[in-house]
Copies of this chain bind each other. A is one copy, B any other.
Amino acid sequence: MRATYMFSAGDVRVIDVPDPALQQPTDALVRIVRACVCGSDLHPYHRMPVSEHGSSMGHEFLGLVEETGNDVTTVKPGDLVVASFAWQDNTCDFCREGLQTSCRNGGFWNAPGVGGGQAEAVRVPLADGTLVKLPVAADSALLPSLLTLSDVYGTGHHCAVRAGVDTRTTVTVIGDGAVGLLAVMAAKRLGAEQIILMGRHKDRTDLGREFGATDIVAERGTEGIEKVRDLTHGDGTHTVLECVGHMPAYQQALGVIRAGGTISRVGVPQYTDADIGWNLFGRNLTLTGGPAPVRNYIDELMPDILDGKLEPGRVFDRTVGLDEVPDAYRAMDQREALKVLVRP
Interface residue ranges, A against B (CB under 8 Å):
94, 97, 99, 101-102, 162, 259-260, 265, 268-269, 271-291, 293
Cα A94 to Cα B273 in complex, Å, equals: 30
Contact B283 A289 (CB under 8 A): no
Between-chain CB contacts (< 8 Å), 16 pairs: A94-B259, A94-B260, A99-B259, A102-B283, A268-B281, A269-B276, A272-B276, A273-B273, A273-B277, A274-B274, A274-B276, A276-B276, A281-B289, A282-B290, A284-B290, A284-B291
Most-contacted residue by chain B among A101, A259, A265 (CB, 10 A): A259
Cα A187 to Cα B260 in complex, Å, equals: 21
Contact B288 A286 (CB under 8 A): yes
Q: How many copies does the complex hold?
A: 2
Which residues of chain B are near A281, meaning CB under 8 Å? 265, 268-269, 289-291
Contact A101 B275 (CB under 8 A): no
Question: What's the least CB distance linking A94 to chain B, in Å?
Answer: 6
Cα A274 to Cα B271 in complex, Å, equals: 11
Question: What's the least CB distance linking A161 to chain B, in Å?
Answer: 11
Most-contacted residue by chain B among A281, A287, A288, A293 (CB, 10 A): A281
Most-contacted residue by chain B among A276, A284, A290 (CB, 10 A): A284
Interface of A is mostly: mixed
Which residues of chain B are near A280, meaning CB under 8 Å? 287, 290
Of the residues B265, B277, B293, contact of A271 by C-beta under 8 Å = B277
Contact A285 B278 (CB under 8 A): no
**Smallest CB gap from A288: residue in B:** B286
Question: What's the least CB distance linking A116 to chain B, in Å?
Answer: 20
Of the residues B265, B273, B277, contact of A269 by C-beta under 8 Å = B277
Cα A182 to Cα B99 in complex, Å, equals: 31
Contact A291 B286 (CB under 8 A): no
Cα A273 to Cα B283 in complex, Å, equals: 16
Which residues of chain B are near A265, meaning CB under 8 Å? 281
Which residues of chain B are near A284, meaning CB under 8 Å? 99, 101-102, 162, 288-291, 293
**Smallest CB gap from A279: residue in B:** B272
Cα A259 to Cα B104 in complex, Å, equals: 11
Which residues of chain B are near A282, meaning CB under 8 Å? 290-291
Question: What's the least CB distance linking A56 to chain B, in Å?
Answer: 21
Which residues of chain B are near A102, meaning CB under 8 Å? 259-260, 283-284
Cα A281 to Cα B101 in complex, Å, equals: 11
**Smallest CB gap from A260: residue in B:** B99
